[in-house]
Structure 1
Amino acid sequence: MADLNKIAGGYIAAWNESDAARRAALLEAIFTDDVSYRDPLMQGDGHAGVGALIDGVQQRFPGFRFSLKGAPDGFADTIRFSWNLGPEGSESVIEGTDIGIIENGRLRNVTGFLDKVPAQ
């Protein structure tokens, strides 16, 4: 079984990384080349697609940071973990849970669920 803490921690680090070169290195380490990401609001494929999603979230929510909520769990080739998103040092504004399929220690597919979103 892959190290779930390492995978979830790397995933969160990638979503928080604002430097494009460092983010690219994290994407390479955490995701397979053909990664597929889906949630109710967006989708992206491959490192470039996921990187563009991350960039979009960072532009929409400047100064916000992702953090793990609790500990990741999983079995076989599946990981589940929850996260918070909000201004650093403040209560989260958005929360979610992601389910991923692991292949050779990296995420191949990620399906995201939004557990808490601000009122429109």
Structure 2
Amino acid sequence: MKTSYSISNLLTRNLHDVFGENDPARRRKAIDEIFTEDCAFYEPKGIYRGRDEIDRIAGAIKATHPDFQYQPIAEPEELVNAGRIRWVSGRPGEAPAYAGTDFIIVREGRIAAVYLFFDKLS
């Protein structure tokens, strides 16, 4: 039986357990749990399809700043089969280095697509 997750839970886990995770085994376990097999990740520099590609790009992004942490700046929002979460990222105790919004489409309790928008820091 497939486990189904709430949209808010998926948004939070994607932020922390996938893109915020330094440990490759834990990151992959989370990807396998919360993403559909045919998932896609859309960001300004590219499109990545499937769990293996999401695993690869999440690891590559995290490797560029392993000490950065993602911090939600608002509660996750849900609308039918979609949701979004606004966040900032940077070194703990320092001003955020950048900000963004993750928008997801959910199918059968898993993430089918993630759209990453970078936001201006206030």
TM range (shorter): 0.7 to 0.9
Counterpart residue number, 1:12: 15
Secondary structure of the residue that 1:58 maps to in structure 2?
A: helix
Of residues 73, 91, 105, the one that matches 1:69 is 73
Does residue 49 of structure 1 match 2:60?
no
Aligned identity (percent) is: 24
Counterpart residue number, 1:100: 104
TM-score by length of 1: 0.87
Counterpart residue number, 2:91: 87
Deviation, 1:77, is: 0.7
The number of residues matched between the two structures is 116
Specify every segment of 5 or more residues in structure 1 that has no aligned partner in the other structure, as ranges. Answer: none
| Structure with a larger share of its residues in strand | 1
Give the direction of change, closer, same or farther, for the CA distance of 1:116–1:41 in structure 2 (3 Å limit): farther
Give the direction of change, closer, same or farther, for the CA distance of 1:23–1:116 in structure 2 (3 Å limit): same
Q: What is the rounded CA distance, in whole Å, between the counterparts of 1:106 and 1:94 in structure 2?
A: 27
Q: What is the rounded CA distance, in whole Å, between the counterparts of 1:39 and 1:27 in structure 2?
A: 17
TM-score by length of 2: 0.86
RMSD of the alignment, in Å?
1.5
* CA offset digits 1:29-75 (Å, max 9, x no partner): 22111110011123311111111111111121231111222111121
